[in-house]
Structure 1
Amino acid sequence: MSLKIRKLRARKIYNSRGEETVEADVWVDGAFGRAAAPAGKSKGGKEVMYYPEGGVDESVRLINGELAEKLIGLDASDQESVDEALRDFDGTSDFRKLGGNAAFAVSLATAIAASNAQGKQLFEHLKIVDSLKLPYPLGNVIGGGAHAGKGAPDWQEMLVSPIGARNVDDAVKANFLVHARAGKLLDKHLGGFTLGRGDEGAYAPPIRTEEGLRLLKQAADEISDELGFRIRIGVDVAASSLWDPAKKKYVYRTEGIELSREEQMSRVAEWVDRYELFYVEDPLEENDMDGFAELSRMVEGKTLICGDDLIVTNPSILSQAAEKKAVKALIVKPNQVGLLTTAMKSVKIAHERGIVPVVSHRSGEPPEGHLAQLAVAWGGKLLKAGVVGGERVAKANELLRISEVIGKDRMVSL
């Protein structure tokens, strides 16, 4: 069977927020692959450009015309060569000609076509680790920041992960139970709550961040006791969305306060202790790598300081962060860099430097489970993919399907 690309086609579709995105189809003899690109709302300033001038329509035009001519005939099983051709076609450092989302959709669709042609699962085709294991799901239960409206918590995500679960069935179920219990606690706390949700299916209540942390920890502890294993909570501060560069302050609009850099670090460290946070993503603004390193020292051994906007899945930035010991975990969002192989390079660096890979969704997602396949292929320790909502549940369901192949109890060690 030939794995040469025979046909490439793109179209405009819509993500979970109703925003335009690119979907790509790739054909090889006897097989086919399809993938669409996600999009973030709180987007790191160092990410590649999603789309060129002209938006999604221009990306689709380029894929269906000039790019198709360049890729047809390439070996779909050689992901490096396909991605290199995408990079060469664009010719810029930030994908401003083709668009990083367009490049990602084609890159992933090609990998899916190649895996289908070989009768393999995507995680088998793209694996970079010797031993395949299942990541723990990490999901947003109470949301705020850029993902919610006025009056919601200032920190963007309050997260839950069943890191004591013995198998993937228990792990997936636990997050659903915590989400439901948190809704009941919020309703009681607020004297009636509509259970309104933000972009990722998390509740978006009119409360301060610390109230949300207290209620989520209570929900996690109650479900932990009922199920008999430990469930931990974490946060994505998304601090760049709080940072005012003119004032050089972190502005908490719901709380009505402004914090200095030092006060922000003290708050994070204090709440790590008070609420036993096992995971803290983007606690400081995206250009403060030295601050990340200082905070990592402050909370050493207590929590995983994770870089998202700080690193944007970029291998060279990750290498700098590793040298400074700025992070203990890395968010992996392939569309931040445009290509699967670039994201894979970052994951390999993370493994080499003892940094925990966290394979992550975006707030605007297609309703597919491919992300779970990538997490297993790349040795992700956590799969950050939300809890409820069809596009989020798709990732959890895919983990369950993968577990039928590699074993339900093959959970990673954290």
Structure 2
Amino acid sequence: MSEIASIHGMRVWDSRGNPTIEVEVTLADGSTGRAIAPAGASRGTREAVDLRDGGTALRGMGVQKALDGIARHVAPALRGLDGLDQGAVDAALIDADASALKENLGGNAMVATSLAVLHAAADHAGKPLWRHVADSYDRAPKLPLPEIQIFGGGAHAGGRVDIQDFMIMVPGAASFDEVMEITNEVYFAAGDIMAQRGKLAGVADEGGWWPQFDSNEEALETLVAAIEKAGEKPGDRVVISLDIAASEFGTDGKYRLSLEDRDLDSAGMVDMLGRWIDSYPIASIEDPLGEDDPKGMAEFTRRFGGRVQIIGDDYLVTNADLVREAATQGACNAALIKVNQAGTVSESIACFDAAVKQGWGAIVSARSGETEDVSISHLSTGLGCGQLKVGSFTRSERMVKWNECLRIQRDLGKDSFVQGAPLAQTWWGKQES
């Protein structure tokens, strides 16, 4: 009685006020699952493509074409398949689209459907989603170490600063709940400092403070000051994580820092970030070079891979083949896992497994256009991936995911929190071991 009986899509709205897709899947025994597709602002050129209506209505962001595809193609292709066989369901989805980047049916339609099937299977099994994922894929569930934005920048803040995310991690916390407490103190300390300096201007796409800095490095200086104002010693329990999102301001190994009115080549970017690593308690850097700059990424990894976590996002786009290729090039030592970037649950887990096989870290991540969907809180826990990146410490589409982790902690126990283990390869992990 676990066959897929029906699939229905409907239009809902994301955190930026744009249309998106919710899919509900019902199995033959009445078990149901529901999931919503997120959307990214900073997007890799090789990730799954959302299908939008174009035209003038809703600024071209409508999703009726994608909804029509669910009714005409997705539902007939999946109806009758075993909802417990995620691999077969996702393979049928991929066959139904038959395009490299899911542009025919739309990555938005496919990811909402794939996740909804996973939820329906968990409902059929009578288990919370994290437990169903752990049991289905033979994993040891662990509460992840959060990566939380304090200042938003880049595409998340109208390009006000070049660097996309200035974040903190609390690997020295003893529980997920303690991470939330410390982050609360740092987040509001940062807001107080900006207000005192006359630089408080609201919040960015993901809930971090909207940057009003005169240089990119001023954000780092302010973040260190916020950690100290919160009563913490920078680099002790609290460390810094950056998402450079270099593809947003770099092409062919040339990088334009608009805020500072200067240009850098690949070597210059590596050197600048290296100086930051030497000067600030940075334990993780995402996309330090552009997706079209493999030599630069390899050089950055060669020089700093033994000191910091180097994450590929736009560089890897949740693609197992690209993870393996990057490993042969000596580029990156961790992969960001975004289900909508791949398009299906199975492809995302394949990328996660490829990263683990390389001895890399893996970080399950939200997108800048988010919703009340909490799937990634369960995926990160059920896979035991160790890290979760959701955005900031405000806005309900972010907090709903952090709060879901607290509920999971209640069921799984505080001892299930990974603490600083995922950062074992960084300077922080080495000094703690």
Shorter-normalised TM-score: what interval?
Answer: over 0.9
**Does the alignment pair 1:352 with 2:357?**
yes
Separation of aligned partners in 2, 1:77 and 1:224:
49
Shift of 1:129: 5.2
- 1:93 deviates by 1.8
Contact 1:44–1:310 under 8 Å retained in 2: yes
Paired residue for 2:256?
251
- Paired residues, what number? 408
Tell me if 1:322 matches 2:321.
no
Kindly provide the CA deviation profile for residues 191-249 of structure 1, in whole angstroms up to 9, marking residues without a partner as x. x244411100011122121111011122224436389960111100010111144xx52
Query: 2:31 maps to what in 1?
Result: 31
Q: Which runs of 5+ in 1 are unaligned?
A: none
1:152-203, CA deviations, whole angstroms, 9 ceiling, x for partnerless residues? 2211110111111111110122222211111111222x3x244411100011
**Distance in 2 of aligned mates of 1:129 and 1:243:** 41
Which residue of structure 1 aligns with residue 114 of structure 2? 107
- Return the offset for 1:131: 2.0
Please say if 1:402 is aligned against 2:424: no
Is the CA contact (8 Å cut-off) linking 1:129 and 1:379 kept in structure 2?
no
Matches within 5 A, 1:256-335: 256-335=261-340
> Which one is further off, 49-58 or 312-321?
49-58
C-alpha distance after superposition, 1:300-358 (max 9, x if no partner): 32211110000000010011112222111111001111000000001111111111111
Q: Do structure 1's residue 138 and structure 2's residue 147 form an aligned pair?
A: yes
Matched, 1:154 2:162: yes
Partners in 2 of 1:179 and 1:34 — Cα distance?
Answer: 32
Alignment of 1:1-400 (within 5 A): 2-28=1-27, 29-51=29-51, 56-127=63-134, 128=137, 130-149=139-158, 152-188=160-196, 190=197, 192-207=198-213, 208-223=215-230, 225=232, 230-245=237-252, 248-386=253-391, 387-400=393-406
Q: Amino acid of the residue matched to residue 157 of structure 2?
A: A
Cα distance in 2 for partners of 1:19, 1:225 equals 39
Q: Deviation per CA, 1:340-382, whole angstroms, max 9, x where unpaired? A: 0000001111111111111100000011221110101222221
**In structure 2, do the counterparts of structure 1 residues 64 and 224 end up closer, same or farther at CA, with 3 Å as the change threshold?**
farther
Q: Provide the C-alpha distance between the structure 2 equivalents of 1:348 and 1:223, rounded to a whole number of angstroms.
A: 37
CA RMSD of superposed structures (Å): 1.8
Q: Distance in 1 between matches of 2:368 and 2:35?
A: 17
| Contact kept in structure 2, 1:176 and 1:388, CA below 8 Å | no
- Letter of the structure 2 residue corresponding to residue 242 of structure 1: F
Runs of 5+ in structure 2 lacking a partner?
55-61, 423-433
Counterpart secondary structure, 1:279: strand
Q: Distance in 2 between matches of 1:61 and 1:284?
A: 39
Equivalent-residue separation in structure 2 for 1:70 and 1:130 (angstroms):
30
The TM-score normalised by the length of structure 2 is 0.91
Distance 1:230 1:206, change over 3 A: same
Report the Cα distance in structure 2 between the residues aligned to 1:37 and 1:358, rounded to whole angstroms.
Answer: 19
* 2:300 counterpart SS class: helix
Instruction: Indicate conservation of the 8 Å contact 1:142/1:159, yes or no.
Output: yes
TM-score, normalisation: structure 1? 0.95
CA distance in 2, matches of 1:210, 1:35: 39
CA contact (8 A) 1:143 1:158 kept: yes
Measured in 1, the distance between the counterparts of 2:417 and 2:233 equals 21
Find the aligned partners of 1:300 and 1:129 in 2 and give their Cα distance: 30
SS for the counterpart of 2:113 is: helix
Q: 1:300 to 1:85 in 2, by over 3 A?
A: closer
Give the distance between the partners of 2:31 and 2:73, measured in 1 at CA: 23
Contact kept, 8 Å, 1:331 with 1:358, in 2: the verdict is yes
Cα distance in 2, alignment partners of residues 265 and 86 from structure 1: 40
Say if 1:224 and 1:231, in contact at 8 Å, map to a contact too. Answer: no
275-284 vs 170-179, which moves further: 170-179
Cα distance in 2 for partners of 1:30, 1:18 equals 32
The one-letter code sitting in structure 2 at the alignment partner of 1:397 is: N
Asked if 2 retains the 8 angstrom alpha-carbon contact of 1:321 and 1:327, the reply is yes
Question: Is residue 143–residue 416 contact of structure 2 (8 Å, CA) maintained in 1?
Answer: yes
The amino acid across from 1:374 in the alignment is L
For the 8 Å contact 1:23–1:35, the answer to whether it is kept is yes
